């Protein structure tokens, strides 16, 4: 799968127009013709990642048309900065605006964040692809699942054990990898407890504090998918919570890039 970053150009515009990209199902670049040529490099049905400067990837989609369209009508343009604007039609199937794939995560997976308006993903493509494939499958199941799906959801809640809740409380619901937490509408913070050596018959991980980390949803998915290595030295630490090196080793040997 060929995959491209598309920069929403918040630096030039002074604001990111990614909400309008989602609403209008488009991708946009503007300026001289060379930027049109860059956008034209992306083929129909190829995957694009919507990137916002200093924030990260906020969406993923599939190109639906064959080539860019020149837009000169100001009423139809997204940004008022440039006279020439080029649009592609995109099915933005993955919306990550509430929990972007952040700068640190991109650096881990891809070596560095993107630097250009249109840039092919040359490292970490497989890991990113698995992250978005998992997201699409979850979305599809949520939309079309039979009633038995409710039982699966209840099972997941039960797995958020008392010890996992304790770990989240110790860390103030801040991700031990990136330090971020999701603030909900009522002001409370949301994070997830992840068993480094998973519970269940396949891995038989124990439900102990030293086997649990507090993660944001993105890093939780990345660990589940084996997209990143773990290092105890790089995990955020608090008093009363020591991660077992044996569980870090299990993840890196048995789960990292094996899922």
Cα torsion at 106, 122, 51, 3 (round to 10°)?
-130
Per-residue pLDDT tens over the stretch 170-211: 999 999 999 988 888 888 888 899 999 988 767 889 989 999
Helix (H) or strand (E) holding 155: helix 149-159
Q: Is the pLDDT of residue 10 over 70?
A: no
Tokens 């890991």 -> residue: 127
Q: Is the pLDDT of residue 157 over 70?
A: no
The CATH architecture to which 3-142 belongs is Roll (3.10)
Q: Looking at per-residue confidence, does 83 or 149 come out higher?
A: 83
What does the pLDDT read at residue 155? 37
How far lies 114's CA from each of 65, 111, 186, 239, 249, in Å? 24, 9, 34, 36, 31
**Contact call for residues 246 and 204 (beta carbons, < 8 A):** no
Residue 236, both tokens: 């955020």
The answer for 130, left when phi > 0, alpha when psi is -120 to 50, beta otherwise, is alpha
Domain boundaries, the chain: 3-142, 155-255
Per-residue pLDDT tens over the stretch 116-145: 999 999 888 888 777 666 555 554 554 454
Per-residue pLDDT tens over the stretch 22-45: 999 999 998 888 999 999 999 999
* Residues 6 or more apart in contact with residue 176 via CB below 8 angstroms: 213, 214, 215, 235, 236, 237
Residues of the chain with pLDDT > 70, as a percent, come to 84
* Interval 226-250 mean pLDDT: 93
**Contact call for residues 148 and 185 (beta carbons, < 8 A):** no
HSE, side-chain direction, 13 A CA sphere, residue 124: 23
For residue 219, which of 163, 185, 246, 180 has the smallest C-alpha distance? 180
What does the pLDDT read at residue 11? 56
The CA distance from 47 to 90, in Å, is 9
**Contact call for residues 60 and 49 (beta carbons, < 8 A):** yes
Residue 42, both tokens: 């992306």
């Amino acid at each position: 799968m060929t995959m491209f970053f598309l920069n929403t150009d918040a630096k030039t515009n002074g604001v990111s127009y990614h909400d309008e990209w989602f609403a209008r199902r488009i991708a946009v670049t503007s300026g001289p013709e060379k930027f049109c040529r860059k956008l034209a490099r992306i083929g129909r049905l190829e995957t694009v990642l919507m990137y916002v400067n200093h924030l990260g990837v906020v969406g993923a989609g599939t190109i639906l048309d064959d080539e860019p369209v020149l837009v000169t009508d100001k009423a139809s343009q997204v940004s008022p900065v440039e006279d020439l604007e080029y649009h592609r039609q995109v099915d933005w199937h993955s919306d990550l605006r509430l929990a972007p794939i952040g700068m640190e995560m991109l650096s881990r997976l891809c070596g560095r964040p993107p630097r250009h308006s249109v840039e092919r993903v040359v490292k970490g493509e497989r890991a990113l692809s698995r992250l978005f494939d998992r997201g699409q499958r979850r979305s599809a199941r949520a939309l079309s699942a039979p009633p038995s799906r409710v039982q699966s959801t209840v099972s997941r809640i039960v797995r958020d054990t008392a010890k996992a809740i304790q770990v989240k409380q110790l860390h103030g619901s801040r991700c031990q990898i990136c330090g971020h937490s999701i603030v909900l509408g009522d002001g409370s913070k949301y994070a997830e407890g992840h068993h480094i050596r998973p519970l269940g018959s396949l891995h038989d991980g124990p439900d102990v504090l030293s086997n649990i980390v507090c993660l944001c949803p993105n890093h939780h998915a990345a660990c589940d998918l084996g997209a990143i290595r773990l290092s105890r030295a790089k995990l955020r630490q608090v008093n009363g919570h020591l991660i077992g090196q044996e569980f870090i080793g299990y993840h890196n040997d048995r789960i990292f890039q094996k899922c």
